Structure 1
Amino acid sequence: SLWGLDPEGTSPTSQFSIIDRTNSVRRLILTEGGNAFLGGALGTSGANATISAVGGSVGIGNNTAPTNTLDVNGTTRVRTVNQ
């Protein structure tokens, strides 16, 4: 199959992943601690994730541990900001 489901680990560090076997990457990682990652290398918990949701913060661009509500590793463009 081109896709795989991977429940792994033991409490408190278990996680569930959807794996793209064609490209050998984890496309979605859900951790027991309530964190979620889109993208990431095999064998890791969100390493090189494209988008991470960790502890109420969101990181975009290879950010597995965002430190602010929105943590962007790269450039941004804001078109409209309403107060």
Structure 2
Amino acid sequence: MEEESSSRIMSDDEFMKLVKLAQTKSDVEAMNTIFQYFDQDIKRLSKLLRMPKEDAIQSMKTQPLELIMKKNKKPFIEKLFLELYRKQLI
């Protein structure tokens, strides 16, 4: 259990660097790293939603992707993602 949580540790700077790469360069690898970071949480939370598990997972991945790709609201999105990341809500 401890190994799993320690492998999920990421600094704020690292996280925001990934968000910026995904925003500015549409970096698929950066987006995948973000999804992998939250994969355990997404799967756990998908069980709580009243919809098929696959649909819940897809929805929880689509919403952050849409937020990240909205480049025109970049400062707001960066603050939002950083706050959610700090609270471990996504």
Q: Decide which structure has greater strand share.
A: 1
TM-score (norm 1): 0.21
TM-score (norm 2): 0.20
Q: Decide which structure has greater helix share.
A: 2
| Larger RCO, structure (CA 8 Å, separation 6 or more) | 2
